[in-house]
Amino acid sequence: MTGARPAGEGPVRGARGALWQPSPNFGERRGGARPALIVLHYTAMTSAEAALARLCDPAHQVSAHYLIGADGTLWQMVDESHRAWHAGSGCWGGCEDVNSRSIGIELDNDGSAPFAEPMMARLEALLVDLLTAYDLPPERVIGHSDLAPERKTDPGRRFDWARLARHGLSVWPDPAEPIVARSEHLPDTFRRAAARFGYPPADPALVLAAFRDRFRPAATGPLCAEDAALMQALARRWPAGDFG
- Residue 220 vs residues 34, 193, 194: alpha-carbon distances, Å: 38, 20, 18
Q: Which of 109, 105, 53 is nearest to 84 (CA)?
A: 105
Q: Nearest Cα to 167, choosing from 206, 225, 121? A: 121
Instruction: Answer positive or negative: Cα dihedral of 112, 115, 119, 120.
Output: positive
Q: Are strands 37-42 and 102-107 parallel, antiparallel or unpaired?
A: parallel
* Residue 6: C-alpha distances to residues 3, 9, 11, 13, 159 (Å): 10, 6, 9, 12, 38
Active site residue 139: no
Which of 106, 117, 124, 177 is the catalytic position? 106
Apex 71 CA angle, 84 and 102, nearest 5: 20
Q: In this structure, what are the phi and psi dihedrals at residue 86, rounded to the nearest 5 degrees?
A: -120, -25
Do the Cβ atoms of 139 and 171 come closer than 8 Å? yes
Active site residues: 106
